[in-house]
Every structure is written in structure tokens, then in C-alpha cells.
Amino acid sequence: MMKEVLQVFPDAKFIVTHRDPVAFSKSAISLLAYAGGTENENLNLSKLAEFWLGQIANLLTRMKTHLEDIPSNQVIHVKFDDFVRDNINIVRSILVKNHLELDDATLDAVNDYLDANPRDGAMKFQYSLEAFNLTADNVREQFQFYSDLNLFS
């Protein structure tokens, strides 16, 4: 698929975010269980986790394959934790790498949005691998192939 994109847009840049698979899995599966649990009292958390871990593994495998089709100078890897911690400077660094600028009007608009939508005001969820009969070691082992890419640490 990336080969086709590059045929049409040979100078395309790809920004790929990466997050520790243990943290991502814990967050994603907990949120999916919460959403699924609102309609189903008999939700099997272990089966839900097994299904979604398989889906996440599939997505990460496909991402790895797609990255092999893209010249490395056209990929910008962004660590999720860095983006959450310092999103403006991460965006600025992406723009600089692409010879673009973050103009004052755009920066003001982004800051206005961030001020109006603070992260600390968001609903907090309790994330727990144990609720799904998982441990960090289980998840880490399943996603070792992704961890070996060293894109998020």
C-alpha cells in the first residue's frame, strides 16, 4: 500500500507515532472493555483482551511491513510520551525537518485550543492488565518484535 502512495506522492512524508506496547495495550483494552461493558454485563474480559491483543499485533506487524517500503528519510518517528509531554515542540521539530515553519497565527490557534481543552480535565480511567488476566511480561513478550525495532524507548 505504501508503494502505491509513494508512486502518486513520491515526496510524501510519514509521521508515525510509537508507544510502549504494554502501556498502549493496557489503555486501549481498558477503554474497549469500558465501552463494551456499557452494553454487555456478561463481557468476558480475558477473551476481549485476547482478541484485541491479536488485533494490535496485526496492526503493528502491518506497520512494520509498510515501514520497510518507505525510504527512511521520509519517515518521522514520534514517541507518544514525548508528544504528550511537549506537543508544540514536537510539532515544531516535525515542521523544521520538512523545511516548514510554525507561524504565530497557527501557534496562537493551537495554544487557544489547548487552553480550552486541558488534558487534566479529561475523564480518568483505571487501567489494569490484571483485570484481563494479563501481566506486563505477557504483553511485552507478545510484542517483542515491535519492541526490537527500538522506536518508542
pLDDT for the residue numbered 77: 93
d(CA 64, CA 134): 24
pLDDT, tens digit, 9 for 90 and up, residues 7-49: 999 999 999 999 999 999 999 998 888 877 656 677 788 888 9
Q: Cα 140 to chain center, whole Å? A: 16
Residue environment code for 72-84, b if the CB has 16+ CB neighbours within 10 A, otherwise e: eeebeebbeeebe
Give the CA-trace dihedral at 24, 34, 61, 79, to 10 degrees.
Answer: -20
pTM assigned to the model: 0.80
pLDDT for the residue numbered 78: 94
pLDDT for the residue numbered 61: 92
Amino acid at 66: H
User: Which residue stretches of the chain have pLDDT < 50?
Assistant: none
